Structure formats: C-alpha cells, structure tokens
Amino acid sequence: MFLRGKAKYAVYGAIFLFLVSCQKPVEKKAADDSLKPASVKVYKVKKQKISEKLIYTATLEAWKRQAITPDISGKVARIYVNEGERVKKGQLLAELDTRSIRLQLEQAEAALAMARANFEDASRNLERMERLYKEKAVSDQQYEKVRLAFEAAKAQKEQAEAAVNLARHSLDVSIMRAPFDGVIAAKNLEEGDVINPMMGGFSASSSVLTLVDYSKIKVRFDVSPADVIRLARGQKVFLESFVLPGQQFEGQVTVVNTSADPQTKKFRVEAVVNNPELSLKPGTFGRVILEVSTRENSLAVPQKAILENSYVLVVESNKAVRRAVTTGLKNTDLIEITSGLNEGDLVIVEGNFGLMDGSPVEVEGEVVR
C-alpha cells in the first residue's frame, strides 16, 4: 500500500513537470512577439498650399422658376409641351380657348369704326360752326351745342379704342410663351381644364405649366455668427452633389444676410453655381465648400497623424519617436504644422494609435497626397 502511494505521487509529479515544460515555450514566444516591429505607413512632410474650408449641406434649387399662367380666366385649349421638355425663350407653350375673345374683338372693332365715323362728322360740324361763330352768324348756344357734340364723339372714339385694345390684350395674354430658356418641370393642368388666376392661390393648379432654368443652381445655407464674418459676396464656392460623387462645380456667393434669424441666430447665405451640362438636378442635396483662408508653402500632414491634438510619431532609426507639434489651418484632410516638424520628416499616419514612444517600427509604405 505504501508503494501504491509513492506511485501515485510519482504520477502527480510527472504531470506537473509536463505542464511546466509546456508553458515555457509559450512565455518565450510572447517575449519574442513583444520585440517584433509594428507595421506602419508614413507621410513625408512637405511644403504645400493649404486652405481652410467651411462645409455646409444644402438643397439644390433651380436658378429661375416661373409658373406659366395667363392673365385672364378661361378654358385651356392647347398645351404644346410635355414635362421634361426643353424650350426656348418665346416658344409657344399653351393657349386658352379664344373664340369668345375674338368675337369680342370683332364687336369692339365694329364699334370703333362707328365711333370714328361719328367723330369725323362731329369734327367737320365743329369746323363749320367755328367759322360761323367768328362771323357772328350763330348764337353762343348753337356753337356750344356743336362743341359738346364733338367732345362726346371724341370720348366715344377713345372708349371704343380702349375696348379694342382690351380685347387684343386678352387675346395676347391667352397665348402663353416661355419667358426664358428652360425645362418644363411640371404640367399642372390638362386641355379642357378651366383656370382662374385670381382664385388659384398657391395650389399647383394655379398655373398651367411650371418652367425652370437650372443652367445655374442656387443653394441656400445657414452659417454661424463666427463664420458669417468670413464670407462676402463674390466669394468662390464649390458644390459637390451627393448623387455625383467625385465631381465639383464652381460658383460664387451672391447673398450674405446682415441680420440673423431670430430663432436659429444664424445667417442665411445664398450662392449660384454654374451647371452648363444640367448635370446637377434641383431638389437633390449637395455639399457646399468655401475656402476662407489659404496659405502657400506651409508644412502640412494628414489629420489622422495628430494624436491627442498635441503630438505626432515620427520614424527615426526604425523607431517611433514622439514629437510635440503646434497646428494652424485645417481642411477636410490636411492640417498645417506651424512648429515641431521639418520638411522631409516621415510622420506615421497608419498604425500610430496605441504605439508607444521608442517602439520599433517597420515602414510598409508611404501615403501620397
């Protein structure tokens, strides 16, 4: 029994030694791993132009937009265009039923002809009466009667002329033409519908068509009091549409409000951007970019190189070396370094998070911008 106990302890001892021997290579491997250089990517510091930018999101709007509406009420007789169709300035778009207006014009022209005949007759009578009056051949009462008849004929002629002009105007405004080059954005009525511009209000049916010109795009956005003092009319802007990634369109600021919105305390700014190919579409969203400060020949690095807003890691002798830096202008990608770095330094931009000062590193590649 004593031998059995010794055998049991011997087995336990063998198991313990086996476990200890298995752990030693693991500890050695961990120690070896701690000395392995970290893989990093670097950016070579160089002098370059850097611009500080303000970025806002805005809705794209057509530069011009107009409701095509006749000046008079009536039934829509013809619509000559469709939605999405491009039209030229002066092109016939639609017209009302003009049969009643043409009849009114004929009636007014007939009345004018009669009024002109009466006026000519009254004019001749007045000429004869004036000669006789000068010769004392007629009384004052007779002369005054003829003169008043002349004045009445003249007024009737002018009234008839106004009626003709009104009928012609009604005929003209019942025909709707494009006031500018553009695209038919909406067809609000159909042929046979009745339109009354004075009662339409703000509904879609208050106009026959909607015409837009988006050869230029208007964008509106609100800026803070701190930013508005850095903006001015004529300042260059760039627009990037969310539906056209990688494309940039140039324009300029056209309006900078001098008073803030009472509720938001922000200032409304407007800009117009060129859109000659009509690539930008009204109603979509985009990013407005304004360069407010620019410096030439500045040292700049990618923003992701800055750690804790105060230092970077530079590769020296295959080691990561900590450098305190001060910064200046920045944009969406780069940040200006005003002190702490020299041209040609290799700044770690990938693999720098969690890396300690003095840690061995291995440069995998260089980031170029």
Query: pLDDT of 219-238, one tens digit each?
Result: 999 999 989 998 999 999 99
User: Has residue 11 got a pLDDT over 50?
Assistant: no
> How would residue 138 be classed by pLDDT, with cut points 50, 70 and 90?
confident
pLDDT of residue 36: 87
Q: In the prediction, which pLDDT does 176 show?
A: 94
pLDDT at 2 over 50: no
In this prediction, residue 241 has a pLDDT band, given cuts at 50, 70 and 90, of very high
Q: What pLDDT digit, counting tens, does each position of 276-302 carry?
A: 899 999 999 999 999 888 888 899 999
Task: Label residue 27 by pLDDT band (50, 70, 90).
Answer: very low
Q: Look at residue 137 in the predicted model and tell me its pLDDT.
A: 87
> Would the pLDDT of 345 be above 60?
yes
Mean pLDDT in residue range 43-72? 91
pLDDT reading at 201 higher than 70: no
Phi, psi of 50 (to 5 degrees): -130, 135
Fold adopted by 99-173? Helix Hairpins (1.10.287)
Which CATH code fits 70-96+175-207?
2.40.50.100
The per-residue pLDDT for 20 is 46
Residue 355: band (very low, low, confident or very high) from pLDDT cuts 50, 70, 90: very high
CATH architecture of 37-63+213-369: Beta Barrel (2.40)
| 74-79: strand order across its sheet | 175-177, 92-96, 74-79, 194-195
Q: Are 185 and 211 in contact (CB under 8 A)?
A: yes
Per the CB < 8 A criterion, the answer to whether 107 and 196 are in contact is no
Mean pLDDT across the stretch 30-40? 69
pTM, two decimals, is 0.60
CA angle 328, 333, 336 (to 5 degrees): 20
CA distance 183 to 64: 10
Percent of all residues in the chain with a pLDDT value above 70, rounded to a whole number: 89
Q: pLDDT (tens digit, 9 = 90+) per residue, 80-107? A: 999 999 999 999 999 999 888 899 999 9
Could you give the CA distance from residue 40 to residue 25 in angstroms, rounded to a whole number? 28
Decide if pLDDT at 321 tops 50: yes
How many CA atoms lie less than 13 Å away from 350 in the CB half-sphere? Answer: 12
pLDDT at 14: 54
Q: What is the pLDDT of residue 22?
A: 52
Minimum mean pLDDT range among 13-17, 146-150, 249-253: 13-17
pLDDT, average across residues 295-313: 91
In the chain, where the domains are located: 37-63+213-369, 70-96+175-207, 99-173
